[in-house]
Amino acid sequence: IIAEPLKEMDRRIFCEFPMGLDVDLLKVPMERRVHFQPETKELFINFENYSIRSKKDIEEIYTVVNTICKDISETVKCIVNYDNFILISEFIDEYLDMIRYFKSHYFSQINGYTTSTFLRTQINNILGSKNETLNIYDSLQEAEKALEK
């Protein structure tokens, strides 16, 4: 018995290059990565397993955060999950420009966290080389606790 209608097989299985299943299976839309908690006035940005590999990725972040924050009457506290985050070096300046914009318009505080000591060090080295600072903690709990101060 053959079920109708038949589905066409993904053409990528016949190609010699990678199928890109990681993108298909792991790509979480930016709209689902940014959450605002009105009762605590906290914005959570989840960059876990997220890669900034193009200017389009930065524009997507900007659009989503701007859409959420532009109608909030006061600044918000922001926490960013950087676990397994990748930022291609050619986009560091654009990323930092976006963060500066958010800090000057929307964020009263911003803290990040990652469980990776290597990634914390890497982010701090990049920011330090650009005369920027961002508090990066080992856990969400530490990042939240630091916002309370």
Residue 2's pLDDT band (boundaries 50, 70, 90)? low
Q: How many other C-beta atoms can be found within 10 angstroms of the C-beta atom of residue 78?
A: 25
Which range, of 14-28, 60-74, 118-132, averages the lowest pLDDT?
14-28
- The pTM for the full model equals 0.80
Cα separation, 86 vs 49, whole angstroms: 8
Query: Cα separations (Å) of 135 from 3, 11, 49, 78, 122?
Result: 56, 45, 20, 11, 13
pLDDT tens for 99-133 read 999 999 999 999 999 999 888 888 888 877 776 77
Token reading at 99 = 């963060």
CA 26 to chain centre: 14
